Amino acid sequence: MAHRDCTPRERVVAAYVGRFSDVVPVAPEFWCYIPARLLGLPMVDFEKEVPHWQALQTAFRHYACEGWGIVSPSAPDGWPGAPRPTAVSRLDLERYEAVTTIEYSGRTLCSRSFFHVREPSWLVERFIKDFNLDWPVYTQATLIPPHELDWRAVQRALDAVGEDYLLEVHVGSAFIDYAGSQREGGFHQVVIDLADREDHLQLLQDRYIAHMAAKVTEAFANTSARSVFVSSSWSSLSLLSPALWRRWDRPVLEAVVRAAHACGGLVHHHFHGRCTGVLPELVGTGVDCLCPFERPPGGDVTDLASAREALGDRTTFNGNVHTVETLARGTPADVAGEVLEILEAFEGSPRVVVGSGDQVGGETPDENTHAMIETARRYGKR
């Protein structure tokens, strides 16, 4: 690819497959804050009114850089038990409350979220309160047979994004995130569930693995996607022990990779926080790209040479520019220094994307964002 200028999407895909393009891709994780600011919207309106893939397209075009984002299929019309927003009320000048219900087989589950004019929304009440009674309803709402899903909006988004950035299909999360994200009590409760209800959760894990593998197959069969994405929030050694990750999350990632590679597709996994304790095993799953390789205190990536050695020529490195101490609080020189550290550590390797160590904050000075991109452009030419 190095014989011509590549598109942003081509550069990221080349890095995922271990092939050189014209320049090292630079992909700050613009998620909520920066796109909302560029669109001039309060966060509550941004979350409720703008397709996320479209907002990211605005941000990547504005900064003329590479990037990645996600899009998901929707439940078919009339699916029994599909989540249904029922009410939005204003709590004060800055906050709103949104209530969502799931109704199935005579039982109603309720979830509540707070929305804010400046901050992304957060859960204050989760669907699953009674383990035995609520899980069957929740799985009906969320583990929809993949061949029943509506993939048309995914393809429309892929067509609209085109070569502007790599839009990936979000097929789901790590298992512990799935088991706990809507469990009342959150992470603490799901860890208790894993210990006290292992047999029940083993059956759920088996079902989830089959569902994820089938969803990957349908994603590549029904869209022109090049890559699928597996998210995580709690699947991190900042919270989990390596043993819990191996027992509950690794089998899901392995199944996704097998299904994707069988279709000729790629897999990108977002693994927050500390990662070095299982990094060789993450690589061993066959995943094509990992992010965000956070520096302390949020993560534990301090030795980029060791990270490169662990990744070898099998998995692409994406991330590592510190979003708080460097991008938000540092100077352009600080940002350039971290970018140069990444480029030096991965010199001679196509398997690198210069990215941020998670989401770029709203307080990040524009000159720091430009320094990240311009340094990668200047010193990442091939």
Q: If you average pLDDT over residues 241-263, what whole number do you get?
A: 98
pLDDT at 57 over 80: yes
Strand partners for 87: 99
Copy the structure tokens of residue 364. Answer: 């990040």
Please return the burial class of 206, using the count of CB atoms within 10 Å of its CB with bins 0-12, 13-18 and 19+: exposed
The DSSP H or E segment spanning 172 is strand 166-173
Cβ proximity of 112 and 124 under 8 Å: yes
Hunting for tokens 């989760």 — which residue is that?
126
DSSP assignment of 280-303:
HHHHHTT-SEEE--PPTTT-----
Q: What pLDDT is recorded for position 88?
A: 87
Alpha carbon distance 53, 166 (integer Å): 10
Residues 121 and 48 sit within 8 Å (Cβ to Cβ): no
- CATH fold for domain 8-80+129-379: TIM Barrel (3.20.20)
Q: What mean pLDDT is reported for the chain?
A: 96
Q: What phi and psi values does residue 71 have, to the nearest 5 degrees?
A: -145, 145
- Residue 1 pLDDT: 47
Where in the sequence of the chain do the CATH 3.20.20.210 domains occur?
A: 8-80+129-379
Q: What's the pLDDT score for residue 90?
A: 95
What count of residues does the chain have? 382
Evaluate whether 127 touches 134 at the Cβ level (below 8 Å). yes
The pLDDT > 90 percentage for the chain reads 97
Of the CA atoms within 13 Å of residue 23, those in its CB half-sphere come to 21
Residue 140 CA to residue 102 CA, distance in Å, equals 9
Between the CA of residue 350 and those of 15, 285, 337, 357, what are the distances in Å? 6, 20, 20, 20
Confidence of residue 2 (pLDDT cuts 50, 70, 90): very low
pLDDT tens digits, 67-109: 999 999 999 999 999 999 888 899 999 999 999 999 999 999 9
Confidence of residue 58 (pLDDT cuts 50, 70, 90): very high
Q: Write the CB contacts of 246 (distance below 8 Å, at least 6 apart in sequence).
A: 278, 281
pLDDT at 300 over 70: yes
User: Would you place residue 319 in the very low, low, confident or very high pLDDT band (cuts 50, 70, 90)?
Assistant: very high
Q: Cα 233 from chain centroid?
A: 9
**Band of residue 172 on the pLDDT scale cut at 50, 70, 90:** very high
